[in-house]
Every structure is written in structure tokens, then in C-alpha cells.
Amino acid sequence: MNIVLSDPKEGKAYNKKTEEAAFIGKKLGETVSLDIIGLKGYKAVIAGGSDKDGFPMKPSIDSQGRKKILMTKGIGVKGLMKGERRRKRVRGNTVAKDIHQLNLKITEYGPDKLSDVFKKTGEEKKTEEKAEEKEAKHEKHEKKEAAAEEKAEHKKEQKAEEKK
């Protein structure tokens, strides 16, 4: 399960993957303790989520499974004309084992800062990405230089042939 933690104080979101079935049976809007995923002292509200196929959780549907409902606006519906309704498939408001992403909004903070807890993995990823980008730029630059040298040599050969 992919857990997205939103921090309203900092205005940032942090990503945490877990194999544990930590929040199964909980409903949207419930307050949960984040001790289960390794954040001691933190509490959060379940704000939303989606299943493995991308169907969003809808707070007004009281079940774990998917339902096809007639909707005019809200979660799962994009830009309809005035008066238009569409039948859309959405998930219920209860967390099940096939929920792929769960969105949590932090309400109570623990002793550790979230930026410090998630800093290591985020910085390592950024450092690796920067190194890969730098290497790719370097290779691209070398290719351009080699192509320019070949072109210059080819022009010299053509001029030498024209003089003969």
C-alpha cells in the first residue's frame, strides 16, 4: 500500500510504501495512529484513496467494494455540462486490502520532524537523479563534439579533393 502523508504546517506531502495491512477496516474521516508505520506520536485523518485500478474512494458510499453510481459533480467526475449526469464507478469509504493508495492528513505531530524522517530517502533519490542527469548531459556533449570533429574532417577532405 502506498501511503501519502500530507503535512499542513509545511505544505508538503511525503510518500511511504508499506506491505502491512495497517488501516484495513478504517473509514474515510477516521483518525488513525501512525505508530503502525513507524511514526511514533503522529496521528492523521484518512482523507481519501484509490484502488489498484485507480477508482477513487467516495465518502458517501458505505462499503468496501466498487459501485456504479449516477453523479453530477464531486470525486471521480470531471467537468460536466450544466444538468449533465454520468454513471461512474467509485470505491466505498472503507479501506480494504485492494486499496493501492491511501491519503492521510496529519492532525497531531510526534517528537521527530517529518522532513528529518523522510529526508534520507528523498535526498538519496535526488542525488542519484542528479548524477544520472549529469552523466547523460556529459555523454550528449561528447557525442556532439565527436560529430562536429567528424564534420570538420569531412569538410577538410572535400576541400582537399576540390583543390586537386
Rg of the chain over CA atoms, in angstroms? Answer: 26
Can you give the residue ranges of every domain in the chain?
A: 2-112, 113-164
Distances (CA, A) of 130 to 78, 126, 133, 143: 36, 6, 5, 20
Tell me what pLDDT residue 76 has: 81
- What confidence tens digit (pLDDT) does each residue in 69-116 have? 999 888 888 888 888 999 999 999 999 998 999 999 999 998 888 878
Report the pLDDT averaged over residues 49-67: 91
Given a contact cutoff of 8 angstroms between Cβ atoms, the answer to whether 24 and 51 are in contact is no
Distance, CA of 141 to CA of 162 (rounded, Å): 32
Residue 122 pLDDT greater than 70, yes or no: no
Distance, CA of 143 to CA of 147 (rounded, Å): 6
